[in-house]
Amino acid sequence: MAFDKKEYDRKYNQAHKKEYNEWRRKYRKEHKTELAEQRKKYRQKNKKKIAKQRYGYNLKHKEEIAKYCRERYVKISNWYYNNIKELSCFDCGYSFWDKPYMADFHHLHGKDGRSGMLGFITHCSYDRVIEELSGGVYICPNCHRERHPERWRSLCR
């Protein structure tokens, strides 16, 4: 019987899987910044290759992705409309019961660089969106303009 290196490696890796995973976890923890820099360089160097892979994946799984996005959007919309009807404007008390589309979302601690909630809602997980929507207050458009007068001053001149 001849020596089969692939079979030997497979058996060895199975026998030592736990130790290897522990070593790998420890190594990644100790070299976190170096590995992040390596990934960043790789992504910059191989932008076209990565984009092609993503495009190929999206083409192969187009129906799955569309179904997932629709389900997530319906789930978030249902949560929003079920909860917003119970709320009123944080500042003036206007009730959103009959017009839930009138509610503006106001972040209490800044937006962390996001430009709009629509993109955030369409690209993030349900749990992340609910967590984000729980971290602010709902106010009517008039009160929102009063909170951000700097945005509207240039339009009034």
For the stretch 46-61, pLDDT in tens is 999 888 888 888 888 8
Question: d(Cα 70, Cα 55) in Å, to the nearest integer?
Answer: 20
Number of domains in the chain: 2
Residue 50 inside a domain? The answer is no
Residue 75 inside a domain? The answer is yes
Residue 54 inside a domain? The answer is no
Q: Judge if 41 and 115 occupy the same domain.
A: no
Q: Judge if 78 and 35 occupy the same domain.
A: no
**Domain range for 86:** 63-156
Task: List, for residues 85-116, the tens digit of each pLDDT value.
Answer: 778 888 888 887 788 778 887 877 655 545 45
SS3 114: coil
Q: Judge if 24 and 97 occupy the same domain.
A: no
Q: Judge if 93 and 27 occupy the same domain.
A: no
Residue 11 inside a domain? The answer is yes
pLDDT class of 40 with cuts at 50, 70, 90: very high
Which residue, 58, 37, 55, 59, is CA-closest to 47? Answer: 55
Q: Judge if 74 and 110 occupy the same domain.
A: yes
Residue 67 inside a domain? The answer is yes
Q: Judge if 9 and 77 occupy the same domain.
A: no
Query: Are the beta carbons of 137 and 109 closer than 8 angstroms?
Result: no
* pLDDT above 90: percentage of residues in the chain: 17
Task: List, for residues 120-132, the tens digit of each pLDDT value.
Answer: 666 777 888 777 7
Q: CB atoms < 10 A from the CB of 44, how many?
A: 9
64 vs 81 pLDDT, higher one: 64
Residue 57 inside a domain? The answer is no
Task: List, for residues 59-69, the tens digit of each pLDDT value.
Answer: 888 899 889 88
Q: How much of the chain is helix, strand and coil, in % rounded to 5?
A: 70, 5, 25
Residue 71 inside a domain? The answer is yes
Residue 51 inside a domain? The answer is no
pLDDT score at 113: 46
Q: Judge if 94 and 27 occupy the same domain.
A: no
Q: Judge if 92 and 21 occupy the same domain.
A: no
Q: Judge if 98 and 148 occupy the same domain.
A: yes
